Structure 1
Amino acid sequence: MDLHQSAKVLKDNIEKALIGKSDAVELVLVALLCRGHALIEDVPGVGKTTLVKALARSIQCSFSRIQFTTDLLPSDIIGISIYNQKDQRFEFKKGPIFSNIILADEINRASPKTQSSLLEVMGERQITVDGMTYNVSEPFMVLATQNPIEYEGTFPLPEAQLDRFTVRINMGYPQPVHEKAILQSYKNDNIVDHLEPVLHGNDVIQMQEAVSQVYVDDSLYNYIVNIANRTRNSKDIYLGASPRASLVLLKASQALAFIRGREYVLPDDIKNVAVPVLAHRIIVRPEYRLQNKTAEDAVRDVLANLNVPAVRNYA
């Protein structure tokens, strides 16, 4: 099966369980195919966990769900060294993080110390315990869900943790027509429980390699740099996008182009992923928030005030 077709098959299979949320599914696949991670944020009951479980069931690989609570410890995630009296040595017992796809459910209900235990593995795909380094297997992806920080019993994620996520996705409530379809589809059974794998983990790795080869015109490199620079010089933004954010924006636009069946990036690909890639990486000024505006609005303002390059030549 063609790799572009594989991406479409995967997307279609996930959408069997997540009705009316094509954009959210697409963004999750963007994060997967550029070897990143996704933060899914919204109120309870809008399908955050369903999205992650549908992705995990659609790929034949290992899956772990970690329920984050205030008393969760880093060792509950990473694992722990246990002394073996018979062999008279310590043995490392791997935790649930050693899976291909990880659901970090309600990540902002855990303490900052526990949240930080994910920093190394999300950034470097390895874990260091007692001076020993252990690599995780590929493909590897953390999909974290969180409730809005205004909810009781939540700890806001620090900037360093947020920066590890390729995209932040807001689910939103379904349209009435889609909500009716959900009621009709789920009235007798949970669709997610009956999803079958449509791809193997090796298929995902091949698609990830293909995404890195998607052509990017030189004018689009300039466009990405201009977007990042404008966030750094905006009067409404206190902390602008970093060079790492620019790189993630590039990779995400390549992944989106690939998912949409193209071997080249268009300006619209960059514009479509700019908000979910950049908004959680910037900090807007307090006076901007007093206008009831958000970081997402600030990124949209930046895009609206930049000239879009006219790309004419493709490889």
Structure 2
Amino acid sequence: MQVKFWGTRGSLPVAMKADKVRGKIVQALQAARGKNLDDDQAIADFVDNELDFSVAGTYGGASSCVEIDFGNDEFVLCDMGSGLREFGFDSLRRINEGGKKGAYSFFMSHPHWDHIMGFPFFAPAFMPTNNLKIVGGHDIEFALRRQQDNPSFPVPLDWMGAPREFQVMKDGEVLDTGAFTVKIRKQPHHGDSYGYRFEKGGKTVVYTTDAEHKLDDLDDFDAHIEFMRGADLVIFDTMYSMADAISVKEDWGHSSNIVAVDMCHQAGVKHLAMFHHEPVFDDAMILQNHTETIRYEELVRPGDDVLRISCAYDGLVIDV
């Protein structure tokens, strides 16, 4: 399996402004003082190996959209945030190159706007030669129609030419697609959200975002640990710090980096991908959160097995 992140922000997309770009350039030039950067390779090596990611790159600003490639000729997506637009264009390129066919399966966490807003701009949905299957625990069709109804959007859903199939899964249900199996789990969030456990060939990826797991709800806590049990990769909502999650942003429906690490340790997870980043955080703040999360994992690690921790960014690819 291969996982690619097309959108990693929570709540709404964000764009990097000119002052942030300028700040990165200034930091890079300051770090380059005294370096021998006389050729292009030396410059590339300096950028790749000596600059923090928050300076050399960016975590991006698109909202939730994650692709899981099971090695077959179909596309599998989790959520339809604004990152779906770029994925759509890339998928058409791959179809034209002959590696894929125009079959798309979506597994939706919930229909809040940041998770469906990319669909009106999803180019493959306008092509009758493609086929879309949209799966979730909610009535996703109603939500997609409503966001494209007047006066919100000029193009109604039925103007999109690709055939669509909607499927509602029940909490705990397991779907065997032939290419992989997927189990759905209801999560604590305003209006509910759903996580998905994907399995193929002894490998497991869990997509679990927009959920607020509280220590005083032991039933949910224990059940979610079992849902993640032994996963090779868990994509987890780490929108808030623990301090925010238990104070000013309690009951806002999201989790923290600390809860993510604790749950992954108890579940025996191999790799955690921090996801659904707070839109007010800039790259430096997200990097700091990542660094502090790695340090926390080291301090509370229950044994010798290291929990690998990545901080998802738009464009990140993880092989499972």
Q: Which structure features the higher share of helix residues?
A: 1
Q: Which has the higher contact order (CA 8 A, sep 6+)?
A: 1
> TM-score under structure 2 normalisation?
0.29
